[in-house]
Amino acid sequence: MPLHLFLVPVNIILIVIYLIARNRENLRLTAWIQPLTTFLSIGIAALSLLNRDTNTAYTVWILIGLALCFAADIFNIDMNNDKIFYAGIACFIVAYLEYAITYTRFNNGFHRQDIMIGIIFVAIYGLLIAIYWKGLGKYKLPVMIYGLFMPFMVTRAISTLSGGVFPLTAAVLVTAGSLMLFLGDVEYGMQRFYKPGKFTVGPICYAGGQLLIALSCAYFIS
């Protein structure tokens, strides 16, 4: 079995612990478990380089995005702290933009079919902002800005499915991973700005999404 796969079950166990820590509001445990899940995803992506057939340039670009998310994780522990919230948003904007650029660069740019996907996600963006609006308060501008980058990243991931450049398995993994990141953000937005409650899939979607994106490196064969 390839070495990178040995880290997958360990990461899955940590993701479950991460969900429990978030719901118990155990910030001490979250402070190390959240970055650790991303760190393991970095390890999974890096280990794919042991296969000479994988695309080294693609893996390096994904590793940069994962490293940026790792830095954002450190800022993003206590999400009710304004300074941490703003720092986390800034870091994730850069990280998700890097992912979007990576998907676009290795998918030979933009394609005609991207227009329809873009329209759909613009509509989703508008709907979510409308749902959050009353609860956004002083966070209106940063959330509206951040909300543009996340769907853009997802549309670039979906484009890899039909761009004819990405290997199918790698395209499915980055699309599923990016959609999971998006769903995790939607749940957080609902909890923070619409109706407070316990997390159900958000932490799993975030850490699981990073895991799938990291796994795509092993299946992007040159």
pLDDT at site 1: 67
Q: Tell how many helices (H) and how many strands (E) occur in the chain.
A: 8, 0
Mean pLDDT in residue range 121-126: 96
pLDDT at site 77: 62
Cβ(206)–Cβ(181) below 8 Å: yes
The dihedral over CA atoms of 202, 203, 206, 210, expressed in degrees to the nearest 10, equals -150
Mean pLDDT in residue range 35-61: 95
Determine what percent of the chain is predicted with pLDDT higher than 70.
Answer: 97
Q: Please state, in angstroms and rounded to a whole number, the distance separating the CA atoms of residues 125 and 72.
A: 22
pLDDT at site 16: 93
In this predicted structure, the answer to whether residue 189 has a pLDDT above a threshold of 80 is yes
The residues with which 54 forms a beta bridge, in sequence order, are 221
Residue in the structure block whose two tokens are 């296969």: 51
Confidence of residue 83 (pLDDT cuts 50, 70, 90): confident
Least confident stretch, 6-20, 114-128, 179-193, 196-210: 196-210
pLDDT at site 88: 83
Q: Please state, in angstroms and rounded to a whole number, the distance separating the CA atoms of residues 19 and 59.
A: 28
Judged by DSSP in three states, 54 sits in: strand
How far, in whole angstroms, is CA 28 from its chain's centroid?
Answer: 23
Instruction: Choose the most confident range, by mean pLDDT, from 34-48, 69-83, 189-203.
Output: 34-48
Q: What is the mean pLDDT of the chain?
A: 92
Residue 37 or 196, more confident: 37
Q: Please state, in angstroms and rounded to a whole number, the distance separating the CA atoms of residues 49 and 58.
A: 10
Q: What is the largest CA-CA distance in the chain?
A: 52
Confidence of residue 76 (pLDDT cuts 50, 70, 90): low
Enter the pTM of the model. 0.93
Mean pLDDT in residue range 83-92: 84
Residue 31 or 218, more confident: 218
